[in-house]
Amino acid sequence: MSRLGYVILWISLSLGQALGQAPVSFVRDIAPVLVKQCQGCHGPKKVKGGYRVDTFEHLLKPGKSDAPAIARGKPAESELFLRLTTGDADDLMPQDGDPLPPKQIELVKRWIVEGAKFDGTTETAALAGLLQPVEHPPSPESYPSPMPITALEFGPEGERLFASGYREVTIWNTISGELLGRLGNVAERVYDLAVSAEGRLLAVACGQPGRLGEVRLFDLASGELRSVPVTTADVVFAVAFSNDGNRLAAGSADNKLRLVDVESGKVTHELGSHSDWVNSVAWNADDSRLVTASRDKTAKVFDASTGERLVSYLGHQNYVRAALFHKNGKEIFSIGDDQKMHHWKIEGPKKVNDSSASRSTALAIARIGTELLIAGDDRSVRAFNINIKDESRKWDWHKDAVLSVAVSAATRQAASGAYDGEVVLWNIDEGKIIRRFHATPGGVEGKENPPLPRQGEGRGKG
């Protein structure tokens, strides 16, 4: 910052204090800047210069330079402030983005001058969790190109299909193919979707890599955002409602599994048993246990009441993408980058068998009755009968890697979503395609699926 800039900043500070300006709030004014602009390089995983800003406790600790990060009351002696205002391009923060605007720098300086006070709940809490729910930018009215379909979920009666979009979730009528609704105000990327058993709530696992992760809970009758029960420093990959609808489980890139009481919106358990991303989470039939799949090459089973880890399955030789329970609740099916479907007993744990899920990576799994449907990057969806080791059926309808698959027990239908944005809806028993379409508001190149009004703008319920 130039000498003139410092003078202007100091004058504005002095005038603000003279006029009785309200004190700077760390939670309201400072934490959002740190999370958005700094945490990508100074978080729990990427720690440039040995300095972290993901909690208030870490923010106060010096980095490798040993210079005081925050010298209360003394901005000129605070390494954080100096790095935000230096004229040296090699030292200026943030290095991976534009310099902070003068207004934000002024807030940081005022906060330090006022004593660098903390007005959050606990100094060890993740800063992302202290923030008020972010109002995300709107999704585009029409898409210039298709979006990869990273998540699909049926409504409880199979009449609606929810699909991931860019900063939104789109809702489609499975009978007519009509676009019913667009739920916006979600983070940039959507990784997983879950609808409560009675169809009242939609949970969206979303985020922006390296910066923010959330679980957003929507009321489907009104389309309104009900709560944001989980906020993390990195993306949330997985979300699942318990069968009774009272609890929610979420797995994220900060290696943690979180359990949420849906009514209060409070996190009841935060479990850090994994050493890498938690890619998926699933409940058993009576909601007493949970199974997770992780990039640390393990799948784990937890007691859903206490959070106690019961077993770790180590049979995979590569990343584990997804896992779910056998209908008997005593066995697990898991898939991953070792190109196999593992069938194992929780007791032990002990492998029953493994099957070649495909000749490539298995990316998603769903179960309906005695059949497992496995989506892979070989552009296929394969069916396995849980009582038979080998593949029973295969569908090669996609033109690109299949990233997601969902099933409806009510209608005996399945839907799969691909990297090229296409969704295929088909009848499981007959193996016949019902329809295929790009889940792209406005259509590919704007020629199909003309955009409809957004939620709450003259359209009925989604």
Looking at the structure, tell me whether residues 294 and 413 fall in a common domain: yes
Asked, for residue 454, whether it belongs to a domain, the answer is: no
b/e map of 337-351 (b: 16 or more CB within 10 Å)?
A: bbbbbbbbbbeebee
Asked, for residue 142, whether it belongs to a domain, the answer is: no
What Cα–Cα distance (Å) separates residue 362 from each residue in 264, 304, 312, 358?
36, 27, 20, 7
Mean pLDDT (whole number) for 304-328: 96
Token couple for 103: 């207004």
Q: State how far Cα 71 lies from the chain centre.
A: 36
- 326 — alpha (psi -120 to 50), left (phi > 0) or beta? beta
Looking at the structure, tell me whether residues 170 and 80 fall in a common domain: no
Mean pLDDT (whole number) for 447-460: 33
Contacts of residues 231-234 at CB distance under 8 Å and 24 or more positions apart, as own/partner, are 231/126, 231/128, 231/129, 231/131, 232/126, 232/128, 232/129, 232/207, 232/256, 233/35, 233/39, 233/43, 233/44, 233/54, 233/126, 233/127, 233/128, 234/43, 234/45, 234/207, 234/209, 234/210
Say whether pLDDT at 241 is over 70.
Answer: yes
Contacts of 179 (CB under 8 A, 6+ apart): 170, 171, 172, 173, 441, 449, 452
Q: Which of 130, 160, 179 is the last residue of a domain?
A: 130
Contacts of 40 (CB under 8 A, 6+ apart): 46, 94, 96, 210, 211
Looking at the structure, tell me whether residues 391 and 283 fall in a common domain: yes
Looking at the structure, tell me whether residues 171 and 99 fall in a common domain: no
* Integer Cα distance of 388 and 352 in angstroms: 11
Contacts of 285 (CB under 8 A, 6+ apart): 243, 325, 327, 329
Q: Binning pLDDT at 50, 70 and 90, where does residue 37 land?
A: confident
**Count: domains in the chain:** 2
Q: Binning pLDDT at 50, 70 and 90, where does residue 49 land?
A: confident
What is the pTM assigned to this prediction? 0.77
Say whether pLDDT at 2 is over 70.
Answer: no
* Integer Cα distance of 390 and 192 in angstroms: 28
User: Residue 99, preceding bond cis, omega within 30 degrees?
Assistant: no
* Integer Cα distance of 391 and 277 in angstroms: 29
Express each pLDDT in 62-95 by its tens digit. Answer: 988 888 999 999 999 999 999 999 888 888 888 7
Asked, for residue 430, whether it belongs to a domain, the answer is: yes
Asked, for residue 457, whether it belongs to a domain, the answer is: no
Asked, for residue 138, whether it belongs to a domain, the answer is: no
> What pLDDT does residue 65 have?
84
Looking at the structure, tell me whether residues 272 and 408 fall in a common domain: yes
Tell me the range of 142-151, 244-253, 346-355 where mean pLDDT is highest.
244-253
Looking at the structure, tell me whether residues 106 and 187 fall in a common domain: no
Looking at the structure, tell me whether residues 101 and 162 fall in a common domain: no
Express each pLDDT in 212-228 by its tens digit. Answer: 899 999 999 999 999 99
Question: What range defines the domain where residue 415 resides?
Answer: 152-446
Asked, for residue 461, whether it belongs to a domain, the answer is: no
| Weakest-pLDDT range from 237-251, 277-291, 329-343, 439-453 | 439-453
Say whether pLDDT at 237 is over 90.
Answer: yes
Looking at the structure, tell me whether residues 122 and 182 fall in a common domain: no
Contacts of 175 (CB under 8 A, 6+ apart): 159
- Higher-confidence residue of 405 and 42: namely 405
Mean pLDDT (whole number) for 204-215: 91
- Higher-confidence residue of 132 and 430: namely 430
Say whether pLDDT at 449 is over 90.
Answer: no
Looking at the structure, tell me whether residues 69 and 157 fall in a common domain: no
DSSP for residue 27: I
| Weakest-pLDDT range from 138-142, 208-212, 302-306 | 208-212
CATH number of the domain that 383 lies in? Answer: 2.130.10.10
Say whether pLDDT at 1 is over 60.
Answer: no
Asked, for residue 455, whether it belongs to a domain, the answer is: no
Asked, for residue 312, whether it belongs to a domain, the answer is: yes
Helix (H, G, I), strand (E, B) or coil at 26: helix
Tell me, letter by letter, the H, E, C secondary structure of 297-357.
CCEEEEECCCCCEEEEECCCCCCEEEEEECCCCCEEEEEECCCEEEEEECCCCEEEEEEEC
> What pLDDT does residue 4 have?
41
Express each pLDDT in 109-127 by its tens digit. Answer: 999 999 999 988 788 888 8
Q: Binning pLDDT at 50, 70 and 90, where does residue 353 land?
A: confident
Looking at the structure, tell me whether residues 160 and 101 fall in a common domain: no
Looking at the structure, tell me whether residues 324 and 363 fall in a common domain: yes
Mean pLDDT score of the chain: 87
Say whether pLDDT at 59 is over 50.
Answer: yes
> What pLDDT does residue 457 have?
29
Looking at the structure, tell me whether residues 125 and 173 fall in a common domain: no
Angle of helix 3-18 relative to helix 102-113, nearest 10 degrees?
A: 60
